[in-house]
A and B are shown apart, each in its own frame.
Chain A
Amino acid sequence: MDSLRGKVAIVGAADTPVGKLPQFSPTGLCIDAARRVMADANITKDKIDGLITCNSMAEPYMYHAEAMAEYLQIFPRYCMSVGAGGSTTFSILHHAAAAIVSGMCTTVLITMADSLRSGLTRDQAMKMQSSAGHSQFEIPFGPTVPAFYALIARAHMDKYGTTAEQFAAIAVACRKHACLNPTAEMRTPITIDDVMNSRMIADPLHLLDCSLVSDGGSAIIMTSADRVADFPHDPVYILGVGEGHGHEHISQAQSLTTSFAVESGRRAFAMAGLKPSDMDFAQLYDCFTPTVLVELEDLGFCKIGEGGAFVENGNIELGGMLPVNTHGGLLSHCHPGNPGSMFALTETVTQLRGMAGARQVKGAEVAMVHGQGGIMSSHTSVILGRERH
């Protein structure tokens, strides 16, 4: 296959409620997301011949996708669960597109959910997430997940003069968007001072530089471009996709300030035949505010080292040059762990369908979504558009 460009489309997208949902198990949320997306795409479960999921931290299965297929009583010919941290969503999208184009299956359900808020104690959630560190050469020193990302932030500040206020501007932008999104968890406006005055977690990261801990699930349905007429909503096409994998443990990173998002972005733009300035908006993985700043640089939305200036003055807010995380992101919409980026994906579909209401990016035609997992380790970038070419 020469390229995936324009060959696959998203024809269904749906989210469960998000936040604190102790009445649902992670499996229950995963199935609820699947039921909702089948309704959105107006298809019955027998039409699904491909299933991709990611495992749940709060309710893990040895073979998660097979367990979900069994629960739904569907019998796919392509069935897989993927784990790449925050990059999982878009890595899955890449695999699903390749499976459709190569004829392994025709209609893929991607459904993901977890209950980090209700299914784990706070200590369990912290321990689970910090286990991304190396068991012998990082974890014993006591790093938290915010501490790992603080190392990135501090290195960027030292090398380029980036400020904590510039990181805070990213949290402010995401919150502004969340205030326009009735499904977002955090809908009280915040200012840069609010971020700077929130409790210090791992210097220079304050509480409001950190993403949420949530329950929730989200799902999409993908099929080949020649089948889109069978579905009720406007299709959203995959125009470009690329991955980049640089390390697993931050102490092994080639650079602390520039990630393999450079590679994933370059590959995605090359496939799409588009450039960063063509994007009408971008959904960039925002587990912590510095992540977004580094991604803006690495994906080519601004020059390396100039991310701090780029995020100032409302530039990444709705109405600015490049609206980022129009649903509120992991910082203010919700963050149930590995499924977190699914909500950025369903939001992108909603935006490109022109159905985003008060937070609609006017005339939006193409957008980039980007996920990263580990500690700036694994990266997948996807370019989505309303038109096939």
Chain B
Amino acid sequence: MNGHMDKFLPRPTPESAPFWQGCQDHKLLLQYCTACDTHQFYPRTICATCMSDQLEWREASGRGTVESYTIVTRAVSDAYAADVPYVIALITLAEGPRMMSNVIGCDVESVKCGLAVEVVFERWSAEITMPKFRPFADQIAG
């Protein structure tokens, strides 16, 4: 855990706190609008599709697909230098929304657009656990 304390730790807000608590509990939570049947990410006070406030938190499958990625060879700050080379990816979740994360647990050169991934959780501090992704296990086995 010590290696993460100087990174840019997220600061939860009232609308995002349930998401970050979900990560602490190793659950990827998304907001779901019961008025228009749509998942959304990032967390908001309203549904950005229909402006309803009928939002509830639902646990996502944790699976997604890499839509794009890059391998960073020059870290953004010293706190990230030990991670170089690291993958920044945009991942389209099975439920629809897209999120940014890192793809870990594999050779960075093996990451491709279209790669199936699943969420894993990485504890950074007492309050913050980060949602990261690794190649989907069945895909590795198969």
Contacts and interface: CB of A to CB of B under 8 A. Distances in A.
| Physical interaction between A and B | yes
Interface of B: 7-13, 16, 41-42, 67-78, 80, 83, 86, 88, 90, 98-102, 113-114, 130
B75 A150 contact: no
A363 interface: no
A324 interface: no
B73 A201 contact: yes
A141 B88 contact: yes
A141 B100 contact: yes
A200 B73 contact: yes
B83 A142 contact: yes
A174 to B, nearest CB: 22
Contacts of B42: 134, 136-137, 252
A127 interface: yes
The interface size bin for chain A is 35 or more
15 contacts: A127-B77, A135-B8, A137-B42, A142-B72, A142-B76, A142-B77, A144-B76, A151-B68, A151-B69, A154-B70, A203-B73, A204-B70, A251-B98, A251-B100, A256-B90
A153 B90 CA distance: 13
Given A141-B102, A155-B113, A203 B70 contact: yes
B111 to A, nearest CB: 10
Interface of A: 123, 126-127, 130, 134-144, 146-147, 150-155, 158, 199-205, 250-252, 256
A140 B130 contact: yes
Contact of B8 (A140, A155, A158, A204): A140
Contact of B113 (A139, A142, A154): A154
Contacts of B74: 144, 146, 201-202
A155 B73 contact: no
Majority DSSP secondary structure for residues of A touching B: helix
A5 B8 CA distance: 47
Contact of B88 (A142, A155, A199): A142
A143 B113 contact: no
A197 to B, nearest CB: 15
B68 A155 contact: yes
Given A144-B74, A154-B69, 4 more contacts: A140-B7, A142-B80, A151-B68, A202-B88
Q: State the 5 A-B residue pairs at the shortest beta-carbon distance, nearest first.
A: A150-B70, A155-B68, A136-B10, A158-B113, A203-B71
Contacts of B98: 251-252
A136 B130 CA distance: 10
A261 B102 CA distance: 29
A202 B16 CA distance: 30
Contacts of A127: 76-77
B108 to A, nearest CB: 9
